[in-house]
Amino acid sequence: MSEPKANETKKEPVLKAQHLGIIFGGLKAVDDFCLEIGESELVGLIGPNGAGKTTVFNLLTGVYQPTEGSYYLCGEKMNGKKTHQVVAAGIARTFQNIRLFKKLTVLENVKIAMNMYMHYSLASSILRLPRFWKEEADIEEKAYELLDIVHLKDKADFIAENLPYGQQRRLEIARALATGMKLLLLDEPAAGMNPTETAELLDIINVIRDKFHISVLLIEHDMSLVMKICERIQVIDYGVTIASGKPEEIANNPRVIEAYLGKDDEEVALSC
């Protein structure tokens, strides 16, 4: 439908999705999805309920295998990889309905995401060899650093499910950060948050972009948030991309307004 913005650089884009599509039985949940995300770029993915946004995330993280098209992370083809391999390659995500390891501590939640960087063997863990202590101490330090970024350092020993909602969201982001990803997929990070919490979340997103130079793809229903922070927005409806461009272009795009509000309702527009 719409060509990705032509900000052509020599470097491979962090994410390049080409004509991605998936069919569930007779339903084309996502069709011809094209997207390029450059380094440190923040792109928004919006659309009405059931438009296929989360399906796009599931495609990009290997939960579903695309039936059409292919996608690349920094030039490396990701098709056919399992979720944990995609994560190891550098795409991490958060979930629409928070998925933490509820009965484990905040610190453990973060440490688990660093497991793939740990290499001590079963034998060294059973015999408690020096390697065990060294790696455990190393990741504990790193985990505390990440918790500091999301302002949860003092909550490290709390059981994850006992945290308030906003903090659980932030913990999920810290856990995603711990995987050391290049591209972060945030699925409605501000859902159910109050304005203060949303503002805090915005700060954190900005800090991690500055600090780790990661790219972000964001699904969000809070339009004011999307308009404020996204550099580019892609709109999908019924699995099809209907618009893509700068926030102000999107806000005035008749097709987008139609998708959200129905026909002949331009007056109400996307004023929110």
Partner 1 sequence: MNVKNPKKHFIAYLINLAGVLVLFFLLMGLFKSNVLGARTAYLMGICTTACYTIVMVTSLNILVGVMGEFSLGHAGFMSVGAYASAIVTNALADAGLPTILLFVIALLVGGVASAITGVLVGIPALRLRGDYLAIVTVAFAEIIRVAFCNFEITGGGRTMSGIAKLSNFYWCFWVTVICVTIMYMFVRSRFGRTVKAIREDYIAASASGVNVTFYKVMTFTFSAFFAGVAGAMYAHYMTAMIPTIFNFNYSAEFLTEVIIGGTGSLTGSIIGAALLSALPELMRQFSTYRMLAYSIVLVLVMIFKPGGIFGTYEFSLTRILKKLLSGELFKGKKKLTDEMGGAAHE
228 touching partner 1, by CB under 8 A: no
Whose Cβ is closer to partner 1: residue 98's or residue 250's?
98
CB of 223 to partner 1, least distance (A): 27
In the block, residue with structure tokens 């032509």: 6
Q: List, in sequence order, every residue forming a beta bridge with 186; answer none if it has no partner.
A: 218
How far apart, in whole angstroms, are the C-alpha atoms of residue 163 and residue 170?
A: 10
CA distances, 14 to each of 22, 72, 190 (Å): 22, 8, 24
Among 32, 68, 136, 258, binds partner 1 (CB under 8 A): 136
Residue of the chain from 11, 19, 77, 82 that contacts partner 1 (CB under 8 A): 82
Query: Contact between 97 and partner 1 (CB under 8 A)?
Result: no
Residue 116 within binding range of partner 1, rule CB under 8 A: yes
The two tokens of residue 137 are 């101490």
| Strand-pair partners of 222 | none
Per-position x/- string for 170-189, each x denoting binding to partner 1 as judged by CB under 8 A, each - no binding: -----xx-xx----------
Instruction: Give the footprint of partner 1 on residues 30-49 (CB under 8 A).
Output: none
Q: Which stretch binds partner 1 (CB under 8 A): 14-22, 26-34, 128-136, 222-230?
A: 128-136
- Contact between 144 and partner 1 per CB under 8 A: no
For residues 29 and 83, give the distance between their C-alpha atoms in angstroms, rounded to a whole number: 20
Minimum distance, C-beta of residue 263 to partner 1, in the bound complex (Å):
38
In this chain, which stretch among 125-133, 210-218, 223-231, 258-266 interacts with partner 1, using CB under 8 A? 125-133
Q: Residue 41: CB partners within 8 Å, gap ≥ 6?
A: 14, 215, 216, 231, 232
Q: Quick one: the chain helix, strand, coil %, rounded to 5? A: 40, 20, 40
Segment interacting with partner 1 (CB under 8 A) among 9-17, 101-109, 163-171, 239-247: 101-109
Based on the shown chain and the rule CB under 8 A, indicate whether residue 212 belongs to the binding site for partner 1: no
Candidates 17, 35, 100, 218: give the one binding partner 1 (CB under 8 A). Answer: 100
Q: Cα–Cα distance between 91 and 62 in angstroms, integer?
A: 10
- In the complex with partner 1, the residue whose CB is nearer, 176 or 251, is 176
Question: How far is residue 171 CA from its own chain's centroid?
Answer: 14
b (16+ CB within 10 A) / e for 27-66: ebbbbbbbbbbbeebbbbbbbbeebbbbbbbbbbbbebeb
Distance (Å, whole) CA 40 – CA 213: 5
Question: Given candidates 3, 25, 26, 103, which one binds partner 1 under the rule CB under 8 A?
Answer: 103
Residues making contact with partner 1 (CB under 8 A): 61, 63, 82-84, 87-88, 92-93, 95, 99-104, 108, 111-113, 115-116, 118, 120, 122, 125-128, 132-133, 135-137, 140, 175-176, 178-179
